[in-house]
Chain A
């Protein structure tokens, strides 16, 4: 079966531009997570969806970052007015539910470079 997929795999943009990153979770997984990973660091939590709603968005760094999951499946992470500091790998994960022992399966990530 298909795993988590993310598009694009790489995105290069200029400072100040708007970007959208897409995540297709594993079919049937109700929980979806976005993380950001900088070089030499572990992933940093951004936002968690349970179904269509954002159950926890406490990791979003500021109001330039926003994510949606309108039909409870595909999610889009949106970054406005990108800054050089936004450059990182953006990882999406999904799990069957949101339980503490549910394994999170990760997509390959989108490498965002802001010039």
Chain B
């Protein structure tokens, strides 16, 4: 079983729609959680950290459920520029970043 699991997609979504990604992690001792965005042939960039209380940044909302070891990302009013791969990332007790394989999102006009 992979340490961080994501649906690889692709998710094909019309512009303006709401889309949600989920991610599960196996190490209950994991300490911090992130969503990164990666455009094709580019480096990953931090989208947002994920806090236990849930957090929002504009059109993006992240949730963490420690009991279920589950992280989610919600994108509202999706834009063409949101097309990318979204990587769920968990920081374990050794401070290593453990990455999911990513979920590919394609926003269609």
- Is A104 located at the chain interface by the 8 A CB criterion? yes
Cβ-defined partner of B95 (8 Å) among A41, A43, A48: A48
**Contact across chains for A43 and B44 when beta carbons are under 8 A apart:** yes
* B contact residues around A35 at 8 Å (CB): 97
**Contact across chains for B46 and A107 when beta carbons are under 8 A apart:** no
Q: How far is the CA of A91 from the CA of B44 in the complex (A)?
A: 9
| Number of A residues with CB within 8 Å of any CB on chain B | 23
Q: Which residue of A lies closest to B104 (CB)?
A: A40
Q: How far is the CA of A106 from the CA of B45 in the complex (A)?
A: 7
A58 to chain B, nearest CB (A): 8
Q: Which residue of A lies closest to B49 (CB)?
A: A101
Question: Could you list 14 further interchain pairs (A-B, Cβ under 8 angstroms) beyond the known A42-B89, A42-B101?
Answer: A35-B97, A42-B4, A42-B99, A43-B99, A44-B99, A48-B96, A56-B94, A56-B96, A100-B32, A101-B32, A103-B46, A104-B97, A106-B43, A108-B43
Interfacial residues, chain A to chain B (CB-CB below 8 A): 33, 35, 40-45, 48, 56, 58-59, 91, 98-101, 103-104, 106-109
